A and B are shown apart, each in its own frame.
Chain A
Amino acid sequence: MHDPQRPVPPLQRLMDNPWLLLLLGVAIPFLSYTAWGWISMMTMAKATLP
């Protein structure tokens, strides 16, 4: 058991929330990689023939 004298640091308390981590862990790559990548692909102008 952890020492009750030493309080758990706030950052660690945040890490102790698995559901928040799940949410962030899914949202960040979905926005940064998937959604942005998809948009970037759809808005890319068609190459013209040389």
Chain B
Amino acid sequence: MTSLALPVGNFRTGEARTCDTTGLPVCLHAQRFIKLNAVCAVVALLVGAIGAILLGLTRWPAVHLLPADWYYRVLTLHGINMLIFWIIFLEIAILYFAGTTLLKTRLASTKLAWTSFLLMAVGAVLTNITILQGTADVMMTSYAPLQAHSNFYLGMILFAVGALLGVGNFFACVWIARRDKTYQGSMPLVAFGALAAAIIAVVAILHGAIALVPTWLWSLGLMDAPDAGWYRLLWWGIGHQSQQINVCAMVSTWYLLATLTVGAKPLNQLVCRSAFVLYVLFINIASAHHLLVDPGVSAGWKIWNTSYAMYLAVLASMIHGFTVPAAVEVAQRKKGHDRGLFGWLVKAPWANPGFSAFFLSLIIFGFIGGITGVTLGTQQINIIAHNTLRIPGHFHATVVGGTSLAFMGLCYYVVPLIFRREYAARALCRLQPYLFGIGIVLVSIGMSFAGSYGVPRRHWDVEFSGAPFAKGFDSGAHVMLGLMGIGAVLAFVGLLTFILLTVHAVFLGKRNEGRAMTAW
């Protein structure tokens, strides 16, 4: 280690180092938990990826791989490992990073961090085992009165409590940082985005607890079944909110990667921060878009929560959607890439996987995820799209092409800077974001248009083989499902490439301690 001197901040001797590449302080305790959470995230991603290819090949009618029971089992496995475990493990890692390094603060509590990590890990393992035993084919939403084995709910509750403790540790870091005045004025923008994510996480996890604890007691035979409508109201309080944690974490990652890769800086502090505040205040009420066809809630409630105030959150996304590329443009032009309208973009570092993953994520999230999202969330239009493949078509552009791809880009920096190991097979690394990005765009478009033909989501056999009347979808729908299948294969290859490269780098990569990381 070159930097023996204690970095600025409130660190104790021997508990921090200065990063040789960025000059930022790194709390060594936080570093351990960033590593542990990131490793678990990638393991969950692998489990989810195996599920992804099996599902893609089942929903492609020409292949129709899995039998019906395994389709629903794998659908549950995929949804939970991807949406919950991969994303939340990585988000907790981001919170440890933002709460310590960016605020120049030591980790508030190592004990709390261990408790959080162990609860999350045990919960994830328990839930996965229960799913694979075939006693929890209820899909990630586990809508009561569908009932899973009690260990499924117990695992989810343990995971959620663990995550809440991790979030609590982040707030404790914020508190210490303010007490010790380790930053002046406003916290850095990326840390502010992480704060927004943490606040939304609190809302999410509280709803999760209210929904799942009674459901768990019911599965143990200690209570009556929860009301189906009530369960859906509460469950979407965590289901939707988790997506908004993703959005905040992803936007923060965009800002961070823009700085790391092209040296961009936020366009305007006030504007960027107000956009995060709009998320915190208004994005959560949009959960109501999941209940737009539910009979139990009033029209007034639906309309208020999915339009009016909710559009303030859409405004926030549009602000970030402008300021992030604008920051890149400004930085590039200052470097002399000033030709014409798009010279800056052409001359961008497209061979740096941190940049390509970030920019592809921005484009896919905005052009596909954003446009479909606002459309599907419109109450009247929702009625022609609800429960069709258009819905997974939308969120594979947001949480997969958007968040997951941005997180992959982040890993291309986290591994060299925090694990202090270099990626090998650099050419493959450079190619990987494109493989995954193009694949997932095909998946998303294929699903969306198949859904427009009326193909339902969560459906094992859209051919209805063996039905007394011939019923099925016309050839256009089949072309689209084929497109989705081909995209699934591509995206799966891209995902597997990422996982192998990352696992190799983490365990066998060349060490770079004592010097700056090899530039991409």
A15–B274 CB distance below 8 A: yes
Within 8 A of A (CB), among B260-296: 269-270, 273-274, 277, 280-282, 284-285, 287-288, 291, 295-296
CB distance from A43 to the nearest CB of B (A): 8
| Residue of A1, A12, A16, A25 touching B199 (CB-CB under 8 A) | A25
In the complex, which residues of chain A have a beta carbon less than 8 angstroms from the beta carbon of B287?
A: 29, 33
Question: Taking the nearest CB of chain B, how far is it from the CB of A15, in angstroms?
Answer: 5
Residues of B within 8 A of A49 (CB): none
What distance in Å separates the Cβ of A30 from its nearest Cβ neighbour in chain B?
A: 7
Residue of A24, A38, A40, A47 near B281 (CB, 8 A) is A24
Closest to B280 in A: A25
Are B285 and A32 touching (Cβ within 8 A)?
yes
One digit per residue, 1 when the CB lies within 8 angstroms of any chain B CB and 0 when it does not, for chain A 1-16 equals 1100000110110011
With A11-B270, A18-B174, A25-B281 known to touch, is A37 a contact of B233 (CB < 8 Å)?
yes
A15-B272 Cα distance, complex, nearest whole Å: 11
Chain A hits for B296, CB < 8 A? 40-41, 44
Measured CA separation A17–B122 after assembly (Å): 35
Is residue B297 contacting chain A, with contact meaning CB distance below 8 A? yes
- Report whether over half of chain A's contact residues are helix, strand or loop; otherwise say mixed: helix
Distance from B351 Cβ to chain A, minimum over Cβ atoms (Å): 35
A32 to B280, CA, bound (A): 14
CB neighbours of B282 from chain A (8 A): 28
Q: Which residue of chain A lies nearest to B299 when distances are taken between CB atoms in the complex?
A: A40
The reply to whether B285 and A16 form a contact with Cβ atoms under 8 Å apart is no
Nearest-neighbor residue (CB-CB) of A28 within chain B: B281
What are the residues of chain B within 8 A of A30 when measuring CB–CB? 203
Is B507's CB within 8 Å of the partner chain A? no
Number of A-B contacts (CB under 8 A): 98
- Contact: A36 with B301, CB < 8 Å? yes
Q: B309 at the A/B interface (Cβ < 8 Å)?
A: yes
Between A24, A28, A33, A36, the greatest number of chain B beta carbons within 10 A of the residue's beta carbon is seen for A33
Looking at the assembled complex, report how far the CB atom of A16 sits from the nearest CB atom of chain B, in whole angstroms.
5
Measured between alpha carbons, how far is A47 from B270 in the docked complex, in Å? 50
Contact at B301–A40, with CB atoms within 8 Å? yes
B79 within 8 A of A: no
CB contact list, B191-244 vs A, under 8 A? 192, 195-196, 199-200, 202-203, 206-207, 227, 229-230, 233-234, 237, 241
Nearest CB in chain B to that of A29: its residue: B284
Interface footprint category on A: 20 to 34
Q: Are A21 and B274 in contact (CB under 8 A)?
A: no
Query: Please, how many angstroms separate the alpha-carbon atoms of A33 and B287 in the complex?
Result: 8
CB-defined contacts of B288 to chain A, threshold 8 Å: 33, 37
B305 at the interface (CB under 8 A from A): yes
Q: In the assembled complex, which residues on chain B have CB atoms less than 8 Å from the CB atom of A26?
A: 199, 202-203, 206
B185 contacts chain A at the CB level, 8 A cutoff: yes
Question: Which chain A residue has the least Cβ–Cβ distance from B294?
Answer: A41
- B 118-148 to A, binary, CB cutoff 8 A, 1 in contact else 0: 0000000000000000000000000000000
* B296 closest partner in A (C-beta): A41
Closest to A15 in B: B273
Question: Across the two chains, which residue of chain B brings its CB closest to A30?
Answer: B203
User: Given the complex, which residues of B lie within 8 Å of A47, measured CB to CB?
Assistant: 295
B203 touches A29 (CB 8 A): yes
Is A40's CB under 8 angstroms from B297's CB?
yes
A22 vs B498: C-alpha distance when bound (angstroms): 36
Q: A8-B185, A33-B285, A33-B287 are in contact. Are A44 and B298 (CB under 8 A)?
A: yes
Task: Enumerate chain B residues within 8 angstroms of A34, measured Cβ to Cβ.
Answer: 207, 233-234, 237
C-alpha spacing A30/B200, complex, angstroms: 12
Q: List 12 A-B contacts (CB under 8 A).
A: A1-B184, A12-B186, A12-B269, A22-B199, A24-B280, A28-B285, A29-B241, A30-B203, A32-B285, A37-B305, A38-B233, A40-B296
Given contacts A11-B274, A37-B297, A40-B297, 16 further A-B contacts (CB under 8 A): A2-B184, A8-B186, A12-B269, A15-B273, A16-B186, A18-B174, A21-B280, A22-B202, A25-B203, A26-B199, A29-B241, A29-B287, A33-B305, A40-B296, A40-B298, A41-B227
9 smallest A-B Cβ distances: which pairs? Answer: A29-B284, A25-B199, A25-B280, A40-B298, A41-B296, A32-B285, A33-B285, A40-B301, A37-B233
